[in-house]
Structure 1
């Protein structure tokens, strides 16, 4: 089987360390594990190609120069002709798999013209995100493309129910939207990896966070909660693994609270190193603030749980469906820093509770939420789509 994987979003370095890049890599990796031949089409490769990706065919799309925002949007839109030409030159494909981006439609329309399935993966309401956080000059054009690409795709994979609801407004047939949450790479969290992770000799109870340092991840809430917790547990520490636009603000926040000796900013690390850093933590935290229409399928939560960590997370969106409070994690009201502090104290006091929650969480994730299982569901969608296309042509 041969698939064209299209990631036309210039904001995603497909071989990078961001959560979106990890998602791309793990879907590709799981396709490869099923002996599917991958041709990757992207304008931005990012870092060095992973060693297990040697067999994939890479077809670079034109890079987008750093010019005025509106001009960048027009250039991104023009890449559709390049993508169509490359797909035409490198065909045939059994199906097209594309990660939705603001300006790309050529992949799904290529599939539509040739009577093959197209699977469109949607991870976020990009028009809303772009307009709110980075600015969107040609919003009306982006809305038209969303309508065009969502309608043309054979199957749409939404990572959460909230994303499905968002996409439904653009399509005439919402039944073609399937919700498939994110997962973990089970090999990275194997029994051997977990057994070999160990705390340092100068052990301190460690609260941990992994992810990009962005406003919607609730790091100020975490720092506020930890400051209160640290007063009662002065030997504790907070480990923040990741980087992003909020780092300077967060560092200043820590300094103002005189917590420099208790808070460590690790910076961005490669996906392979995530289990190592999780192994240094006693609890993983996802302190999301109260957000309207929380649409995330948080990789950090799945990976905390896969590592056997007890998790404290906001009772919001998909998280409250994934975690059963008191069984495989603890849930707090979103944005409630005092509730988060109390949850930290509860876990600090009971090693038995930490073990119970972590063991249950790990079992749930490895049984139901791995990337291989995600791709099994995707391939089932491909097969159903293929049958529908065949029936429609007969």
Structure 2
């Protein structure tokens, strides 16, 4: 089967974030099931090409003054640019099936696929209307326009796949689809993330050889629990002279606050900031950690399927994580890690201290985490679930001889 995958994120092959890694690894896994998959990166990276610096500077100056008023119109206009290129791709490649990512204001690929009678699976990893209204209040928007476009994509898709049960319930309340949402969570590349990776180079580079290392991976945004992370520094470092933190990531509005705290409390020798790390180098950084953190705050709507949690576990590390959403389905408390009520700093410290005191406990929980990840969370297994879904959608499309969505039943593996 020939499959085209349209992804509207920026810089699919350069950004080391969960959503882009998921796109790459999942399509590779579907391809390993015997299908021909081509990824089409639909967004232009800001600042790419000739005169990049000039264009970027102009863009930033204009955004400062006009983005609030023109953002929505600009996003809608992109659909016309997408349509020309996507029509060219689909006519030239003649895919049997299209997988397209749900993105704010984008409807071009869904409309075009329906016009060309190509079955479509919608990759709905996030509630884009909710995200824009919650995290981007600086933009003026037409009421219900974004939700109308989102509903159009959900309704027209032959199948809609989400990454968590929480997200499936959220979309189901819209009542825009007759069929169920199919839940296939994220995963980890267990061929590259495993317990037998050497930590020597990273430990030597950051002077961690004789330390107990507490690790974190992610950008420094509020929703990654940066403030909870900061709250752990002082009590842990005061209690354990050998403790150090290794924070792997770059960007985010809370990074200045993090750096200010480190400088003010003179912790630069004990809290190590790596900056941006290419995803290929993430495994050896996790290998350098003894305990890993996912300290998410008390988010009222935790719909995520955190790739880093699966990668932590695949590397055989004991995870201390917030007791939220799908994390509770991945980690068995006291068996493959510890779960803590969001924002309960005392609870985090209790489990951190317990793990720091007991190498045997770290090994026991880490081993169970690795076994669980290898058995249940590998991208290869996720790819097989997706491949089976693609085959069912294509077969039903051929049988129906029409463009309306069919009834797609989730396979037992994805239920």
TM-score computed with the length of structure 2 as normaliser: 0.84
Q: 1:104 to 1:195 in 2, by over 3 A?
A: closer
Query: What's the counterpart of residue 175 of structure 1?
Result: 179
Q: Per the alignment, in what secondary structure is the counterpart of residue 216 of structure 2?
A: strand
Select the residue among 74, 77, 80 that pairs with 1:78: 80
Query: What's the counterpart of residue 231 of structure 2?
Result: 224
Does residue 310 in structure 1 map to residue 312 in structure 2? no
Q: Per the alignment, in what secondary structure is the counterpart of residue 264 of structure 1?
A: strand
Does residue 20 in structure 1 map to residue 24 in structure 2? no
- Identify unmatched segments of 5+ residues in structure 2: 47-55, 403-415
- How much is the aligned-residue C-alpha RMSD, in angstroms? 2.3
Query: What's the counterpart of residue 7 of structure 1?
Result: 7
Q: What's the offset of the Cα at 1:308?
A: 0.3
Q: What's the offset of the Cα at 1:357?
A: 0.4
Q: Per the alignment, in what secondary structure is the counterpart of residue 206 of structure 1?
A: strand
Give the stretch that moved more between structures: 143-152 or 32-41: 32-41
Does residue 133 in structure 1 map to residue 132 in structure 2? no
Distance 1:290 1:81 in 2: 40
Deviations 1:291-350 (A, max 9, x none): 101111011110100000000000111111111100000111111111111111000011
Q: Per the alignment, in what secondary structure is the counterpart of residue 192 of structure 2?
A: helix
Q: Is the 8 A contact 1:305 1:311 kept in 2?
A: yes
Give the stretch that moved more between structures: 178-187 or 166-175: 166-175
1:192-341 alignment, distance < 5 Å: 194-198=196-200, 200=204, 202-245=209-252, 246-341=254-349
Q: 1:83 to 1:164 in 2, by over 3 A?
A: farther
Q: Is the 8 A contact 1:15 1:46 kept in 2?
A: no
Query: What's the counterpart of residue 101 of structure 2?
Result: 99
How many matched pairs?
A: 375
Q: Is the 8 A contact 1:150 1:170 kept in 2?
A: no
Q: 1:122 to 1:322 in 2, by over 3 A?
A: same
Q: 1:12 to 1:159 in 2, by over 3 A?
A: farther
Q: What's the offset of the Cα at 1:90?
A: 1.9
Query: What's the counterpart of residue 35 of structure 2?
Result: 36
Higher relative contact order (CA 8 A, sep 6+): 2
